[in-house]
Amino acid sequence: MNISLEIRKLPESRWTVLSHRRLLSLPSVLTGPARDKLIDAPLPPFLDSVVARLRQDGYFKSSTHQSPNHVLINEYKSGEGIMPHEDGPAYNPITATVSLGSHTVLEIYQKNKHGEREAHPSWRLLQEPRSLLITTGEMYVETLHGISETQTDENLNSETIANWDLVEHKEDYASGTVQRGTRISLTFRDVAKVAKLGGALKFMTKKS
Ligand SMILES: O=C(O)CCC(=O)C(=O)O
């Protein structure tokens, strides 16, 4: 199944348009006062093959549901990005990111002794089209990640790109300078708290 095509078929109204990217949550956005609860629903069938592969490779074997149950789709046009952030405690500490369309460069920031983000990234990761990035363990808990809002990635080489050895099509980046196109990322996660719809409605009624 062509995942990019299936994403394009989703209604425009499902997307949240932000000033520097747009995003879509499957099966739905997280709910509750701490935005940490997922209303129980299956992921769409066009993601089945990726979910099956992630399960088969054991990436989610220690997470609450031993499987991703939530996918955030981000679309970035050239020049768009995402501010450095942490994915937070609503999810089990594992994120599987599939990149489609353009490459991008993910910047990873460490925290100083006060828990604040360092000014400059410690590592840059080149995410190729059709690549998978797994973020887990210390990297999930102790670092922040972001994508600069640039149309051109520069200085791409074995010294500056932490995963250079794993880049499959090095020839595409050999000049060190590459224009970005539109990229779609799918981040697969396991939300720990899952509510049945009846329970979630009760919870929402209580609040109002
Ligand atoms: O697009 C990406 O690779 C990063 C997405 C991200 O950081 C997020 O969804 O929290």
Give residue 130's identity as a one-letter amino acid code: R
Rounded to the nearest integer, the mean pLDDT of the chain is: 94
Residue 116 lies in a domain: yes
Judge residue 127's burial from the number of C-beta atoms within 10 Å of its C-beta, 0-12 exposed, 13-18 middle, 19 or more buried. buried
Ligand 1 pocket list (CB less than 6 A): 72, 74, 82, 87, 97, 106, 145, 185, 187
Model confidence pLDDT, tens digit, residues 80-107 = 999 999 999 999 999 999 999 999 999 9
d(CA 45, CA 49): 8
The reported pLDDT for the residue numbered 200 is 56
The reported pLDDT for the residue numbered 208 is 46
The reported pLDDT for the residue numbered 201 is 59
**At 60, which CATH number?**
2.60.120.1520
Q: In a mutational test of the pocket of ligand 1, which residue from 20, 21, 145, 148 has the highest number of ligand atoms less than 8 Å from its CB?
A: 145
Domain that holds residue 69: 3-201
Q: Which is higher by pLDDT, 151 or 201?
A: 151
Q: Quickly tell me which residue has 């952030």 as its tokens.
A: 85
The values of phi and psi at residue 35, to 5°, are 50, 50
Ligand 1 atom closest to the CA of 183, numbered from 1: 1
Residue 208 lies in a domain: no
pLDDT classification of 1: cutoffs 50, 70, 90: confident
Model confidence pLDDT, tens digit, residues 114-167 = 999 999 999 999 999 999 999 999 999 999 999 999 999 999 999 999 999 999
Contacts with 68 (C-beta within 8 Å, 6 or more apart), sequence order:
43, 51, 54, 60, 96, 188, 189, 190
Residue 96 lies in a domain: yes
Residue 31 lies in a domain: yes
The reported pLDDT for the residue numbered 182 is 98
Q: Is the dihedral of CA 79, 21, 128, 95 positive or negative?
A: positive
The reported pLDDT for the residue numbered 19 is 87
Q: Is the pLDDT of residue 204 over 90?
A: no
Residue 207 lies in a domain: no
Residue 206 lies in a domain: no
d(CA 45, CA 51): 10
- For the segment 190-206, the average pLDDT, to the nearest whole number, is 75
The reported pLDDT for the residue numbered 207 is 52
Residue 194 lies in a domain: yes
d(CA 182, CA 144): 23
Model confidence pLDDT, tens digit, residues 58-87 = 999 999 999 999 999 999 999 999 999 999
Residue 30 lies in a domain: yes
Q: In a mutational test of the pocket of ligand 1, which residue from 22, 109, 185, 191 has the highest number of ligand atoms less than 8 Å from its CB?
A: 185
Our count of domains for the chain comes to 1
Residue nearest to atom 2 of ligand 1 (CA): 185
